[in-house]
Structure 1
């Protein structure tokens, strides 16, 4: 049996499945699931293309061959490129010292001490392997 879009008054064939991850405030839109499952919503091409999330939520669009990939947000790409340039072209970013080359308050280590945050711009972060940062200091 062919599955249809779950939106009312829409009889188009379903091409994507929408699920919600409430803990992460995220709506995940991916390829059509092999079986209909509770808590998942099948959407047609038009409704999946126009999907938006409530304020404070993010939409994660998963892709597969034959399913159009979303265009990257130019603002995010430019912010990431600028953050990489800022850290990559200088030995010690602004506000850093010889003892803390990436700033005192800017970097944080995970509980395992594996990752260090080098820079942050908006919601984007640049991270590095903590052992490589230690090697650079030593």
Structure 2
């Protein structure tokens, strides 16, 4: 799933919708749609900061896009999340903990059953996420 990038302006917590890049040799600032990945020498801006962009006197601004709208979650992201939740609810709740075999340098997998569901229906955990038993189970 794609992570939402934030505006790089200090104290701004809005989602980035545009990428600003400077071409110092040409004294030009290029403002375009949000790049697919964060680049070290570019700045991600929210719609407010993209509209208010000013550059030093004598510099040019090239605007590759004029309407900056936040990207909605794609169908791929939502489908991947739904599939991950379905898979987690179908699988048998087991945890694998590596343990060393006596006289061997390679760890041997050891499987432990997780405890029975708690009163709230929890049947497993992975980090801060919980797997809950469905109503039909």
TM-score, normalization by structure 2: 0.47
Question: Which one has a larger percent strand, Structure 1 or Structure 2?
Answer: 2
Larger helix fraction of residues? 1
**Structure having the higher Rg:** 2
